[in-house]
Structure 1
Amino acid sequence: MNTRPIAGLAMTALLAGVAHAGPAVATFRVQMTVASSCAVTLAPTAIDLGTVTTQSSAVNYNGSTTLKVNCSKKTPFYIGLAPSDGNRNGKGAMLGARAGNGAQVPYTLYSNAALTRVWGNTATSTRRGNGVAGTGMAAADAVSFPVYAKVTNVNFMPDRYADTVTVSIHY
């Protein structure tokens, strides 16, 4: 009996299986999400209308400050300003510092130097409302917004009057 051909065939089959082995392949992804973000990078300083004397007729006292907002690149945002009394239409009231002084000096906030565009707090993440709109520039580039205030009458008890305004950025 001749066993050489069978042994030769078995050896050839074994070598052929080793010679045709290929690499195992798999894939994976690298990913991340860049979320929109906004911040007030320069808080506005106080709008100081100065020291005034009591007036019985309408007299305008104006002042301004600047706030800077930094939002993610190409992120649309809307800014609202809210006086401490919760008024959403850009009108607030400064309260006196003296005990027993219940007077409230009314003021209005504006977004332009001509004092014609009232700046209130009806902005949302999808619309400007009576706020101000902007678009994020880049990580290091803040957008500046001037804020103006006007008082038209100062017929009030002598005192130091003030109010706090909250800046809200919706994006």
Structure 2
Amino acid sequence: MLFKKTLLAVAALAFVGVAGAATATANFQVLMKINKACTVTAGSSSNIQIGAVAGVDSNSGSNNGTSNISVTCSKTTPYNIGLLPSNTNTAGAGVMAGTSGNTDTVPYQLNSGSATGPVWGNTATATVVGNGVAGVGNGSAQTIPVFATAPSANFTPDSYTDTVTVTVNY
């Protein structure tokens, strides 16, 4: 009988202990901020090759070349691209120098859309397209064509080159 009373007392205490149990809750958030970002890829794969030109006819028109740059910006991020030749002409009018030490220079013009499209220079800012090219990021690489036009003129035979800086403002 003592065993039954003890068992009954333990059971009663266990019941009282369970009935008196309580819980408390709280919440927290998982947070993340995604900053807008852009990258640009140019380099040798973006070089514009205008090609070999006969250097005897100074009025035969112009020679064109095209290539692409690649811009990757986060989704919905607006951007404006500027191009600046090494002579720092903000209207995209560059000058190629000979690579063999001759003093001739060959002028060229950077354009967007086509070889005769709008002048592409470097007055773009993060908020104003200026004479640059505008776009909106989609999170993937976007291919942007660049055109260069040079006159067919009487220059010293040589290979000519210039460097253009690409700036993505966002």
TM-score normalised by structure 2 residue count: 0.80
Equivalent residues in 2 for 1:3-82, closer than 5 Å: 22-41=22-41, 43=43, 44-54=45-55, 55-82=57-84
SS at 2:67 equivalent: strand
Name the amino acid aligned to 1:120. G
CA distance in 1, matches of 2:82, 2:134: 9
Question: Given that residues 95 and 163 in structure 1 are in contact (C-alpha distance below 8 angstroms), is that contact kept between their aligned partners in structure 2?
Answer: yes
SS at 1:73 equivalent: coil
- Residue 42 of structure 1 and its aligned partner are, at CA, apart by 5.9
Give the corresponding residue for 1:151: 150
CA distance in 2, matches of 1:109, 1:148: 6
Question: Given that residues 74 and 137 in structure 2 are in contact (C-alpha distance below 8 angstroms), is that contact kept between their aligned partners in structure 1?
Answer: yes
Give the corresponding residue for 1:85: 87
Name the amino acid aligned to 2:143. S
Provide runs of 4+ in structure 1 moved above 3 Å: 19-27, 41-44
Question: Given that residues 82 and 166 in structure 1 are in contact (C-alpha distance below 8 angstroms), is that contact kept between their aligned partners in structure 2?
Answer: yes
Structure 2 CA distance for partners of 1:38 and 1:108, relative to 1, 3 Å: same
CA distance in 2, matches of 1:146, 1:120: 14
- Residue 156 of structure 1 and its aligned partner are, at CA, apart by 1.2
Question: Given that residues 41 and 142 in structure 1 are in contact (C-alpha distance below 8 angstroms), is that contact kept between their aligned partners in structure 2?
Answer: no
Name the amino acid aligned to 1:33. K
Give the corresponding residue for 1:8: none
CA distance in 2, matches of 1:114, 1:52: 17
Question: Given that residues 91 and 107 in structure 1 are in contact (C-alpha distance below 8 angstroms), is that contact kept between their aligned partners in structure 2?
Answer: yes
Structure 1: runs of 5+ lacking an equivalent: 1-18
CA distance in 1, matches of 2:99, 2:106: 12
Question: Given that residues 110 and 149 in structure 1 are in contact (C-alpha distance below 8 angstroms), is that contact kept between their aligned partners in structure 2?
Answer: yes
CA root-mean-square deviation? 2.3
Give the corresponding residue for 2:131: 130
Question: Given that residues 109 and 119 in structure 2 are in contact (C-alpha distance below 8 angstroms), is that contact kept between their aligned partners in structure 1?
Answer: yes
- Residue 22 of structure 1 and its aligned partner are, at CA, apart by 4.9
- Residue 170 of structure 1 and its aligned partner are, at CA, apart by 0.7
CA distance in 2, matches of 1:57, 1:25: 84
Name the amino acid aligned to 1:67. I
Give the corresponding residue for 1:102: 103
SS at 1:157 equivalent: coil
Name the amino acid aligned to 1:56. S
Deviation digits for residues 60-101 of structure 1, max 9, x if unmatched?
Answer: 1011001221110011011111111111111100011122x2
